[in-house]
Structure 1
Amino acid sequence: MTQAGREFVLYNVQSNDQCDSYFHKLPKQRRVDGLLVISIFPDDAAAAGFKHAGMSVVLVDAYHPLLTSLVVNNVEGAYQAVKCLIEHGHRRIGFINGIIDSAFRFNPSNDRLIGLHRAIGEAGLPFEPELVLTADWDRQGGRKAALQLLTREDRPTAIFAASDVQAIGVLEAARSLNISVPGDLSLIGFDGIELSEIMELSTVQQPMKYMGELGVQKLIAQIEGSVDGGSPPELIRLQPSLMVRSTITTVAPLIKATHT
């Protein structure tokens, strides 16, 4: 922003009500040239207000059909994570997903579940709904869900957590049950937070730095008029990267005994 001669003002919202209030007031106040919205979903009224006022708005890690939006391809990321576990011999894979909120058009939890289905379907594996749990996106949510999976008599040999923070909770649960990772359990998360590299956690890394930079470029282009204001908004899906580290190991697939 500063390189483009623009002043950057950071505004942090603490609640949905505060966010809605800010979005609805902003087009009337006209105190900014443009708005970069990160991981927040404007409602239809707010998006329509931005368009009516001719405001330059770009969403990052969020989506609305009226606004240019940059998102990660969550389906592909989850597919690559589960495919990786399958390629390492795992056949019973637990999935700890985040809360699925149907109110949002862009739903990473739903997309990651689609990616799971795609991977196990391609491998010819059955879908086992009892191995799919929904939890809060935090460490406590991951730990609680992992305890349910890992205390099953037929526990999974691998777990895919929909966030790295949840995956850290899985590590805590495994440790409390004396289950070795990766000796007894393989694990992969999603996001690529800095702590995942420190902990050698396998993950699907989101290109957040590039996404932010691209979002700024798109916003400046709108502000400076190099993008036709009448052109349709863009939906840009960025590809994540698979990072295989020390929490995944290869297991021998079970072979059923045959009688002759």
Structure 2
Amino acid sequence: MTSPPTIYDVATEAGVSISTVSRALNSPARVGEQTRRRVLAAVDALGFTPKPDAVAKARRGVGRIGVIAPHTSYPSVARRLNGILHAIGSRPLEVVLFDQESAAESSSPLLASLPVTGRLDGLIVISLPLDDTVAERLTGLGLPTVLLDVRHALFDSIHTDDIAGGRLAAEYLLTRGHHRFSFLGEAQRSNRYLSPSQRRLAGYRTALAEAGYGLGDHNVRLVRHRARHALTAARELLSQKDRPTAVFAADDTLAAGILRAARDLDLTVPGDLSVVGFDDGELAEVMDLTTIRQPLEESGHAAMERLIQQLDQPTTPRDVALGLQLIVRGTT
């Protein structure tokens, strides 16, 4: 009785390695089209029967890209995802989304439960710092990975300079003649990494100090990333005896809370108070908010393009910094 064909027989028939056969069936995006066709021809000729979903996937030539991010925590993530999808275009790639708790609100090891399996051909990680354990896991799997809005020496990274963004906000408010400053940012439960909010505060504080203005702790508030928490904290800030005349918010959602608090306290904007946010999405346009624009869609597009390059031909990691822009509107 003849034994059923094995993956070794397919490799011999196609003139490729066993690992190439495995990639062609399970990660077709990582194999050239001619090689994939040769493997499929060998599968058909020998009557080899891999898992049904694997051969169907191989015949379509479709690869699967995982995108893991705090999708439900920040509006900015959705805009980055739009950029990713636009970069894919008509390429034969499926996108699988994994929602992870915001790093700022998590006290557990970051990405400890990263759902990586052999069914992914590549991975994009958005706004979630990698600890060394997870980084070693990804490199051990040989899974092409690009980081977006975070950095690690072992992986490609697309990011903006949050410290520079904080400086940009401070320098602009100084040119408007302000002397009393405040900051409203996002609190975090773990100190194992520096969050974007912390970096923006650092740049803001440094630029103010260089100009001769201090930013005491009584003029800094860190809250959960919710507009209602921002509202409560902003009311406290703006009710002080020597209240600030300028507030920089770590993002536009928090800035919305400041504007509502100013209205509740009968403060005019920008007459009594100037407000600067960060991100520049639809919310900023509706609120007529002066803000620091970061290229959200563009960063997603760049991350996907880089991952596609890594799928085609792996190279050493690259670190790409995208520029920021001050958008002046009615709140200053």
User: Which segment is superposed worse, 51-60 or 130-139?
Assistant: 130-139
Q: Please tell me the residue identity of whatever aligns with 2:323.
A: Q
| Distance (Å, rounded) in 2 between the aligned partners of 1:145 and 1:51 | 42
> How far off its partner does 1:162 sit?
0.7
Q: CA, structure 1 residues 135+197, in 2 after alignment: closer, same or farther (shift >3 Å)?
A: same
User: 1:236 — aligned with what?
Assistant: 320
User: 2:112 — aligned with what?
Assistant: 20
> How far off its partner does 1:4 sit?
6.4
Of 239, 243, 256, which residue of structure 2 is paired with 1:151? 239
> How far off its partner does 1:145 sit?
1.4
Superposition pairs of residues 23-38 of structure 1, within 5 angstroms: 23=114, 25-26=115-116, 29-38=117-126
What percent of counterpart residues are identical? 35
Is the contact made by 1:137 and 1:163 (CA closer than 8 Å) also made in structure 2?
A: no
User: 2:192 — aligned with what?
Assistant: 103
Is the contact made by 2:88 and 2:304 (CA closer than 8 Å) also made in structure 1?
A: no
Q: Which structure has the greater CA radius of gyration? A: 2
Of 262, 278, 283, which residue of structure 2 is paired with 1:174? 262
Q: Please tell me the residue identity of whatever aligns with 2:191.
A: S
| Distance (Å, rounded) in 2 between the aligned partners of 1:4 and 1:33 | 17
| Distance (Å, rounded) in 2 between the aligned partners of 1:41 and 1:78 | 20
User: 1:59 — aligned with what?
Assistant: 147
| Distance (Å, rounded) in 1 between the aligned partners of 2:220 and 2:130 | 30
Q: Which runs of 5+ in 1 are unaligned?
A: 249-260
User: 1:87 — aligned with what?
Assistant: 175
Q: Please tell me the residue identity of whatever aligns with 2:112.
A: D
Q: CA, structure 1 residues 210+125, in 2 after alignment: closer, same or farther (shift >3 Å)?
A: same
Q: Please tell me the residue identity of whatever aligns with 2:98.
A: N
Q: Please tell me the residue identity of whatever aligns with 1:241.
A: Q
User: 1:252 — aligned with what?
Assistant: none
Root mean square deviation of aligned Cα: 2.0
Q: CA, structure 1 residues 179+64, in 2 after alignment: closer, same or farther (shift >3 Å)?
A: same
- What does the per-residue CA deviation read over 1:83-119, in whole Å, with 9 as the maximum and x for residues that have no partner? 1111000010111122254212x52122112211221
Q: Please tell me the residue identity of whatever aligns with 1:222.
A: Q
- What does the per-residue CA deviation read over 1:70-95, in whole Å, with 9 as the maximum and x for residues that have no partner? 22110111111111111000010111
Q: Please tell me the residue identity of whatever aligns with 2:329.
A: R
User: 1:257 — aligned with what?
Assistant: none
| Number of equivalences | 239
Is the contact made by 2:182 and 2:215 (CA closer than 8 Å) also made in structure 1?
A: no
Is the contact made by 1:13 and 1:19 (CA closer than 8 Å) also made in structure 2?
A: no
Of 169, 179, 196, which residue of structure 1 is paired with 2:284? 196
> How far off its partner does 1:246 sit?
0.3
Q: TM-score, normalised by structure 1?
A: 0.85
| Distance (Å, rounded) in 2 between the aligned partners of 1:6 and 1:69 | 24
- What does the per-residue CA deviation read over 1:152-208, in whole Å, with 9 as the maximum and x for residues that have no partner? 011011111111000000111111111111121111111112110121101011111
| Distance (Å, rounded) in 1 between the aligned partners of 2:100 and 2:211 | 43
> How far off its partner does 1:14 sit?
4.8
The answer to whether structure 1 residue 6 and structure 2 residue 88 are counterparts is no
| Distance (Å, rounded) in 1 between the aligned partners of 2:212 and 2:272 | 24
| Distance (Å, rounded) in 2 between the aligned partners of 1:126 and 1:107 | 22
Tell me the secondary structure at the aligned position of residue 103 of structure 1.
coil
Normalized per residue, the structure richer in helix is 2
Q: Please tell me the residue identity of whatever aligns with 1:220.
A: I
Tell me the secondary structure at the aligned position of residue 12 of structure 1.
strand
Superposition pairs of residues 247-258 of structure 1, within 5 angstroms: 247-248=331-332
| Distance (Å, rounded) in 1 between the aligned partners of 2:226 and 2:299 | 23
Superposition pairs of residues 122-133 of structure 1, within 5 angstroms: 122-133=210-221
Q: Which runs of 5+ in 2 are unaligned?
A: 1-86
Q: Please tell me the residue identity of whatever aligns with 1:142.
A: A
| Distance (Å, rounded) in 1 between the aligned partners of 2:294 and 2:187 | 19
